[in-house]
């Protein structure tokens, strides 16, 4: 019978569903605007609230779900949607990009714990919002209401048998009434602590420690030891080969990095690969003599290393690798292939010199 009733609803006059249709049509036309003007934003804000209030709950859910993916929702409409009951506002709080930090903090402080849980599920939260969420305390109106109604509920219970003394009965009821708010208070504190732990975990995910290199390109201990060894002996050719192998790039890229006489590109590469600072400073001072000069109690290499940001260096190195992969689509050569190529290039000048010495003799024979 429920299915039949739903079909009967579709057969009813369109006037009964006109508000829902107008609401969805308004949202659809607004979403089609790539860059709405100020007048269009103002007009949409004026139309949305009355239509939303007059529509059914199902239409409201669909409207909020659609607007959660729209990047141009006016601030007034965004705040209006975010302050709706959590059953309607949850997708908007979780996914909408139109809620700035101030709005999120205001909603968290005024709407309660359910809205905060939806905000925590957002993909990215700024440190400002995280700090505000961590410091929140949620008064439990429901707990207070239950505590207030507990004595009234006890009054409705049937009287105890006459054999139980009234003093014992009164003491039992008072102890139960005292334990109920205490238990509820513990549950509330546990839920708040759980929410704080989730927010702290989210903050740790955003501000990842420098030691966490999971999924990032890093130097192996063998590669790091080889780089230090070849830098100590100033064997630039072998150093470039190991660096190219660590970057999974061509020999040309590693040589191009080393040709920067300032040493900044090599320093950025070593920091992007998370090399130990002591080894990196030794390499820089060994390959670039001017970086070993000391100024204000530290070497130029130490000053250069301190100015570099690890994340920025990693992004820069990855950009170099992408550009190198476009140029050398055949893929990087291994160290053995590089050695064979160097030997081949070393033999070619000797062959050219020998052929140039034989050419005049052939001319004289003629």
Label each residue of 319-359 as H, E or C: HHHHHHHHHCCCCCCCHHHHHHHHHHHHHHHHHHHHHHHHH
| pLDDT at residue 173, as a whole number | 55
Q: Is residue 49 part of a domain?
A: yes
Q: Is residue 116 part of a domain?
A: no
Q: What is the mean pLDDT of the chain?
A: 76
Q: Largest alpha-carbon pair distance within the chain?
A: 143
Domain containing 236 equals 221-333
Give the count of domains, the chain: 2
> How many C-beta neighbours within 10 Å does residue 147 have?
17
* Final residue belonging to a domain, choices 59, 81, 99: 99
Q: Is residue 69 part of a domain?
A: yes
Residues 6+ apart with CB under 8 A from 20: 55, 56, 58, 59
* Final residue belonging to a domain, choices 74, 99, 124: 99
Q: Is the pTM of this model over 0.75?
A: no
Q: Is residue 210 part of a domain?
A: no
Q: Is residue 305 part of a domain?
A: yes
Q: How far apart are CA 158 and CA 132, in angstroms?
A: 49
* Final residue belonging to a domain, choices 60, 78, 99: 99
- pLDDT beneath 70, residues of the chain: 1-17, 137-182, 200-215, 329-366
Residue with tokens 């109106």: 141
Contact status, residue 67 vs residue 27, Cβ threshold 8 Å: yes
pLDDT (tens digit per residue) in 201-236:
666 555 555 555 556 788 888 999 999 999 999 999
Contact status, residue 95 vs residue 71, Cβ threshold 8 Å: no
Q: Is residue 127 part of a domain?
A: no
Q: Is residue 239 part of a domain?
A: yes
Q: Is residue 174 part of a domain?
A: no
């Amino acid at each position: 019978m429920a299915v039949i009733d739903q079909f009967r609803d579709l057969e009813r006059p369109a006037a009964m569903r006109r508000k829902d249709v107008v609401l969805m049509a308004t949202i659809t036309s607004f979403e089609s605007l790539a860059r709405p003007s100020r007048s269009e934003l103002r007009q949409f804000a004026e139309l949305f609230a009355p239509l939303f209030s007059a529509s059914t709950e199902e239409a409201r859910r669909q409207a909020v779900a659609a607007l959660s993916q729209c990047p141009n929702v006016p601030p007034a409409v965004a705040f209006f949607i975010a302050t709706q009951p959590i059953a309607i506002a949850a997708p908007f709080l979780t996914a909408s990009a139109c809620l700035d930090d101030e709005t999120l903090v205001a909603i968290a402080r005024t709407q309660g714990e359910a809205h905060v849980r939806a905000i925590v599920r957002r993909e990215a939260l700024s440190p400002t919002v995280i700090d505000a969420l961590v410091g929140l305390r949620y008064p439990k109106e429901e707990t207070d209401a239950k505590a207030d109604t507990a004595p009234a509920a006890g009054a409705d219970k049937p009287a105890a048998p006459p054999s139980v003394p009234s003093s014992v009965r009164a003491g039992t009821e008072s102890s139960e009434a005292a334990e109920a708010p205490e238990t509820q208070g513990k549950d509330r504190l546990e839920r708040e602590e759980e929410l704080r732990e989730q927010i702290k975990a989210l903050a740790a995910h955003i501000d990842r420690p420098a030691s966490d290199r999971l999924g990032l390109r890093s130097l192996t201990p063998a590669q790091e030891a080889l780089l230090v060894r070849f830098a100590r002996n100033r064997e630039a050719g072998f150093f470039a080969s190991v660096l190219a192998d660590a970057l999974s790039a061509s020999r040309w890229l590693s040589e191009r990095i080393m040709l920067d006489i300032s040493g900044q590109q090599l320093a950025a590469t070593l920091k992007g690969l998370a090399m130990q600072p002591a080894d990196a400073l030794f390499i820089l001072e060994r390959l670039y003599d001017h970086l070993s000069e000391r100024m204000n109690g530290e070497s130029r290499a130490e000053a250069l290393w301190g100015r570099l940001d690890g994340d920025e260096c990693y992004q820069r190195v990855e950009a170099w690798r992408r550009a190198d992969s476009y140029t050398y689509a055949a893929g990087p050569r291994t160290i053995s292939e590089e050695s064979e190529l160097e030997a081949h290039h070393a033999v070619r000048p000797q062959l050219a010199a020998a052929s140039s010495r034989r050419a005049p003799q052939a001319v004289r024979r003629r």
